[in-house]
Structure 1
Amino acid sequence: MSVFTPLARPELETFLSTYGLGRLLDYQGIAAGSENTNYFISLEQGEFVLTLVERGPVQEMPFFIELLDVLHAADLPVPYALRDTSGQALRELKGKPALLQPRLAGKHIKEPNTQHCAAIGDLQARLHLATRDQVLERKTDRGLDWMLEEGRNFLSHLHASQAELLEQALQEIERHRQAILALPRANLHADLFRDNAMFEGTHLTGVIDFYNACSGPMLYDLAIALNDWCSEADGQLDPVRAKALLGAYAAQRSFTPAEAELWPVMLRVACVRFWLSRLIAAEAFAGQDVLIHDPAEFEHRLRQRQDVRLPLPFAL
């Protein structure tokens, strides 16, 4: 189970007492996390999620709190940090930055249909529109430069066919780096996978886990989401679901010619980012009781993205 920081009931009760939300009824570690420690918290006045941030410098936490406040104010279904009775949103528990947030309704979708994908496209567009005029700056620690450095370091760890695929992708990133960075920007979720969204039926009730959020090209955020929500088991894109997601996004924000040109490249870049991060995690946590996502999933997707026949709709 991916609970990196275990908590005893007495220390949790002490921490929660300052929120004025009543007695602690129950708590349970969440196994799905791969980077942070999360607990479901039941208090007399409702259901909540407690997050202990395990990765990243403490000084960046105000960015996440402010971003979620902005998105909550824009009426997006996102968690936001609750303030304790002294007005503090960011606190500390067992030496880790800690946030208490409302628990959002719904469940994760394992097999999305076109309506789920359209809801994700609409949500991403609204998120980008809510932040593009006043972008909250945060440079991702897993951006293009990270991919180039870590990718080259990892080439020697791979089989010949894998190394060839990765080397080709890294050369493409190098060639297009400046053009990618010049694309229209906003704040990005940067990790909008199926396990970070919740639905009741086909109604999107919540988007969670913003701890990879950053500022950057909106097209990159879209590529990350589409690679997960619209991929078949073998890594191929489902064109019906993909068109639903892209069409819903484009109904809110029109794409530019530069975005249309770089779209196939960006789908491949998004594959490289998660292939590398999963390869690194698999090595770092080998043999430990930590949830590790399969790196091969994104290797297969990267191979399938070598020939992209899915244009962006309504590029102007």
Structure 2
Amino acid sequence: MAVFTSVTLDDLAQWIKQFPLGKALALEGISSGIENSNFFLTTERGEYVLTIFENLGFEQLPFYLQLMRHLAARGIPVPDPVANDQGELVVALHGKPASVVSRLDGSSQMDPQPAHCAAVGAMLAKMHLAAHDFPLSQPNLRGLDWWVATAPKVLPYLSPDNARLLTREIDYQQAFAETGNYQRLARGPVHADLFRNNVMFVGEQLSGCFDFYFAGVDTWLFDLAVTVNDWCIDLATGELDERRVAALLAAYHAVRPFTLDDRDAWQPMLRAAALRFWLSRLYDLHLPREAELLTPHDPTHFERILRERITTPPAGLPV
């Protein structure tokens, strides 16, 4: 379990009085995630999630939490942040920024079928449209600028072949970002981390998505590519499962129709999405932070996906 900051019920006894939640009754560390300290929190008023932010500062967090509030108010099934008696969504706990949000029902679907992928595609398109008028703006902090800055830090740990792959793909993505095709893509707030473990289902019904703490303003197509690269692949090979891809893209397209620019950018965006997570996993593996118990994700998973996206053009988007 990734717990960077330990919290006990005694720690919460006074702290939680600022929220309209009653007493804290139970607290359990959450085993997934490697960026923040997360806990299931049971109070007299119900079930919540307590997050202590280990990397993000007080000045950055309003974007994420206000975005969640914005989406929840528009009917998107996301956790709703709880304000304290001063109207604040971010408060200090053990000297670090913390928040409390409502807990979603259901469980993650780790063996998704086309119907699950279709539900995710439709929700993602609705999320993009619902966030289009969100007034705050913050760049994707794990976007191209971060890739360029981080690659030199991990290159010394890589084999010559992987170092060449990383360097060439960064060059490719920098060049693509200068094209008119890229610059015409629709943009807005994106989730940027919509993996299987960040979406909940009750039976076959999608009940919500969470973990918005990589969100930022980026192209909608990048967000879609991140999602497809997790929901629609054979985990052993990284190859796309065309039935799941078709279901997810058709459902998205029915809500937010694709453009010709989307079609032409699809393969570069799938490559970009694979690069982003290969690089972040390399960074977490070779330059780890201390935690109570932390198991980094395997970087070779996204290395395989990146190589597959480079060598095998995907089926086209429905336009």
TM-score (norm 1): 0.95
Query: How far, CA to CA, are the matches of 1:66 and 1:3 in structure 2?
Result: 25
Q: Deviations over 1:218-251 (max 9, x none)?
A: 0000000100000102100100000100000000
1:300 and 2:304 are equivalent in the alignment: yes
1:58 alignment partner, SS class: coil
Report the equivalent of 2:215: 213
Report the equivalent of 1:59: 59
Report the equivalent of 1:312: 317
User: Which residues in structure 2 correspond to 1:114-263 (within 5 Å)?
Assistant: 114-134=114-134, 136-179=136-179, 180-233=182-235, 234-263=237-266
Q: What is the aligned-residue identity percentage?
A: 39
Residues 141 and 216 in structure 2, CA contact (< 8 A), matched pair in contact too:
no
Give the counterpart letter for 2:193 in structure 1: D
Query: How far, CA to CA, are the matches of 1:159 and 1:135 in structure 2?
Result: 44
Residues 181 and 216 in structure 1, CA contact (< 8 A), matched pair in contact too:
no
Query: How far, CA to CA, are the matches of 1:131 and 1:32 in structure 2?
Result: 26
Residues 154 and 286 in structure 2, CA contact (< 8 A), matched pair in contact too:
no
CA shift, 1:286, in A, is 8.0
Q: Which moved more, 1:127-136 or 1:258-267?
A: 127-136
Give the counterpart letter for 1:197 in structure 2: V
**Which ranges of structure 2 fall in alignment gaps of 5 or more residues?**
none
2:217 alignment partner, SS class: strand
Residues 147 and 276 in structure 1, CA contact (< 8 A), matched pair in contact too:
yes
Query: How far, CA to CA, are the matches of 2:178 and 2:210 in structure 1?
Result: 30
Query: How far, CA to CA, are the matches of 2:149 and 2:90 in structure 1?
Result: 33
Report the equivalent of 1:270: 273
Report the equivalent of 2:7: 7
Residues 57 and 97 in structure 2, CA contact (< 8 A), matched pair in contact too:
no
Give the counterpart letter for 1:296 in structure 2: T
1:231 alignment partner, SS class: coil
CA shift, 1:147, in A, is 1.2
Residues 68 and 79 in structure 1, CA contact (< 8 A), matched pair in contact too:
yes
Give the counterpart letter for 2:307 in structure 1: R
2:239 alignment partner, SS class: coil
CA shift, 1:136, in A, is 3.1
Report the equivalent of 1:290: 294
Give the counterpart letter for 1:305 in structure 2: R
1:47 alignment partner, SS class: strand
**Which ranges of structure 1 fall in alignment gaps of 5 or more residues?**
none
CA shift, 1:181, in A, is 4.2
Instruction: Name the count of aligned residue pairs.
Output: 314
Cα RMSD, aligned residues only? 1.6
CA shift, 1:53, in A, is 0.9
CA shift, 1:186, in A, is 1.3
TM-score (norm 2): 0.94
1:138 alignment partner, SS class: coil
